[in-house]
Amino acid sequence: MTLKNASILVVDDDMDMLTAIHMLLKTEVKNIVTEKNPENIRSLFSQHHFDIVLLDMNFTSAINTGNEGIFWLRTIKELKPDTDVIMITAYGAIDLAVRTLKEGASDFIVKPWHNERLLTTIKDIARKKGTPDKNAPAREQSIIGKELLGESEIMRDMFYKVEKIAPTDANILILGENGTGKDGIARAIHQHSRRNNNAYVKVDVGALTETLFESELFGHKKGAFTDAREDRIGRFESANNGTLFLDEIGNISLQQQAKLLTVLQNRHINRLGSNESIPVDIRLICATNVPLVELANENKFRKDLIYRINTVEIIIPPLRKRGNDIILLAEHYRNIYSNKYMKNIDGFKSDAKDKLLSYNFPGNVRELQYTIERAVIMSDNDLLQASDLIFSPIESNLVEAAEPFDTNLSKMEKHTILKVIEKHQGNITRAAKELGLTRTALYRRISKYDI
């Protein structure tokens, strides 16, 4: 069906919005009807045939549950199941809009929208309408790829959400423990966005010192500081028209947060040493291993910045909550490293699978990857066995019982080292710094105590 032959109903309690859509679509479609009161939906369907409905998520009607869009979506699907419904939502209700897709909505658009984006969405639905031989569902087409693997329900729900949010320009905050794959999710969002032909720029902002922060993000002019021997553009300019991924956002100082907030509010940057204001157009993705409840502590992080970076949040579950995905990922890495190291290893014995499934993987996917790589290197068998799988003591949350120590001091030292390594998620550099040791000295103690 072409858009010219389509009959469209628009339901929204905002008269200005109804007028704007009517003006946009009146020359594009066969028939357009606008309605302010959703209570009239049943009556309208009894009088007219509609191919597509644009439906707002929230109304000031008697249905005041916060899920009005879902209620009226279900009503439309009961009246005429083959009607395509496009939900209209604000950024703050995107999670709810994603839920409507599982209730039968065809797509959603986000206020304020670009007219071209709205027309493209409607045209795509009209073109597919009535075509029996459709392609595979979007979930199977792209988002689950070589690196984003998962068949557990918790991961499929997350992939589905990513798939629907990626085409928007919403700012996204990715939350998850170290090693869960936040960078991979950020790249997938960029690859499935409308900016995928432009730059994807990653910055570990948590590693930037106060002096480097502005220069790295916003650039500088020659002579702005001692070592500024030439002009340099910052990461914001490098990511212009593309995606900027700020990793470890939870670790930046309040002073850095204030500078970042100013740029995100104005969408302009000033290079160090210059008064010229340069506009930037970026899609922002941030990530942190700090739980949102801790991030909301205003003594550590500005709430106004949280609202700027957290239009939508994606929570990546730890590997221990993903069930048989552990085996799926283990097979993936076994195949990669068997080819890399030219080993003829075809799979896992049952005892090896049992060992993988019974371990809690405090280091998540990253720890699993290194465990499988080490097992492939060391194994002489065609199937990996339980004895081939050696989990890193650095990641272990358990202090295994050991033989009695010669002195209480040695026992206390081992216990302290284990706790500090655990606290820093296996980061030896940070652990050594807190313990007041060099990395070499800490490694000697790790070897001494067989940690």
Residues 283, 325 within the same domain: no
User: What confidence score (pLDDT) does residue 399 get?
Assistant: 36
- Span 250-266, pLDDT tens digits: 999 999 999 999 999 88
Residue 70: inside a domain = yes
Residue with tokens 């087409």: 141
| pLDDT confidence tier of residue 71, bands split at 50, 70 and 90 | confident
Q: How many domains does the chain have?
A: 4
Same domain for 326 and 310, yes or no, is no
Q: What are 164's two structure tokens? A: 């629907």
Using DSSP's 3-state secondary structure scheme, residue 360 falls into: coil
340 and 227 together in one domain: no
Q: How far is CA 407 from the centre of its chain?
A: 49
Same domain, yes or no: 119 and 12:
yes
- Answer whether residue 153 shows pLDDT above 50: yes
Kindly state whether residues 189 and 234 are assigned to the same domain: yes
Q: Determine, yes or no, domain membership for 328.
A: yes
pLDDT score at 409: 67
Question: Of 128, 163, 185, which residue sits at a domain end?
Answer: 128
In a domain, 396, yes or no: no
Distance CA 290, CA 295 (A): 6
408-430, pLDDT tens digit by residue? Answer: 567 777 778 888 887 777 778 88
How large is the average pLDDT for residues 169-194? 91
φ and ψ at 290, to 5 degrees? -80, 125
Asked if residue 338 lies in contact with residue 303, where contact means CB atoms within 8 angstroms, the answer is no
Helices (H) and strands (E) counted in the chain, each on its own, are 19, 16
Q: Is residue 393 part of a domain?
A: no
- Lowest mean pLDDT across 34-43, 58-67, 408-417: 58-67
pLDDT band at 92 (very low <50, low <70, confident <90, very high): low
Q: How many CB atoms lie within 10 A of CB 323?
A: 16
- With contact defined as beta carbons under 8 Å apart, do 285 and 172 qualify? yes
Is residue 298 situated within a structural domain?
yes
In a 3-state reduction of DSSP, which class is residue 173?
Answer: strand
pLDDT of residue 260: 94
Q: Is the C-alpha dihedral spanning 327, 332, 335, 337 positive or negative?
A: negative
Question: For the residues 10-24, what does the mean pLDDT come to?
Answer: 91
Q: What is the mean pLDDT of residues 367-374?
A: 94
Could you give the count of Cα atoms lying within 13 Å of 210 in the half-sphere of its Cβ? 4
* SS3 label, residue 425: coil
What is the domain-level CATH number for residue 37?
A: 3.40.50.2300
* 256 and 169 within one domain: yes
Q: Which of 315, 348, 379 is the last residue of a domain?
A: 315
- The answer to whether residue 401 sits within a structural domain is no
* 132, pLDDT greater than 60: no
Q: Answer with the one of 287, 315, 343 that is the final residue of a domain.
A: 315
Whether residue 292 is found in the same domain as residue 414: no
Q: Provide the 10 A C-beta neighbour count for residue 369.
A: 19
Same domain, 325 and 300: no
Shared-domain flag, residues 323 and 309: no
CA distances from 80 to 44, 85, 104, 122, 361 (A): 12, 11, 12, 18, 48
Same domain, 177 and 248: yes
Pairing of strands 278-279, 268-269: antiparallel
Domain annotation covers residue 397: no
Task: Give CA–CA dist 274/262, Å, rounded.
Answer: 16
Output the pLDDT for position 82.
86
Domain holding 104, by residue range, is 3-128
Span 292-309, average pLDDT = 85
Q: Both 201 and 288 in a single domain?
A: yes
Q: Is the pLDDT of residue 6 over 80?
A: yes
| Helical residues (DSSP H) of 267-407, grouped into ranges | 292-295, 303-309, 325-340, 350-358, 364-378
Model pLDDT, residue 179? 92
Residue type at 445 in one-letter notation: R
Q: Give the C-alpha separation, 356 to 149, whole Å.
A: 17
State pLDDT tens for residues 186-208: 999 998 888 988 999 999 998 88
| Structure-token match 């999670």, residue found | 95
Lowest pLDDT segment from 228-237, 346-355, 412-421: 412-421
Is residue 143, in this structure, part of any structural domain at all?
A: no
CA angle centred on 95, ends 89 and 101, rounded to 5°: 75
Distance of alpha carbon 283 from alpha carbon 175, whole angstroms: 17
CA distance 429 to 420: 11
pLDDT at res. 373: 95
Residue 383: give its domain's CATH number.
1.10.8.60
| CATH code of the domain containing 233 | 3.40.50.300
What lies within 8 Å, CB to CB, of 58 at 6+ separation is 66, 68, 69, 93
Q: Same domain, yes or no, for 65 and 30?
A: yes
Which of 113-117, 216-220, 266-270, 382-386 is the least confident region?
113-117
Average pLDDT, the chain: 84
What CATH number does the domain containing 439 carry? 1.10.10
Distance CA 2, CA 24 (A): 17
What's residue 404's pLDDT?
A: 44
Structure tokens at 278: 């340069």
**What is the CB-side half-sphere exposure of residue 224 using CA atoms within 13 A?**
21
List, in order, residues 6 or more apart from 21 with CB less than 8 Å away. 10, 12, 32, 34, 54, 118
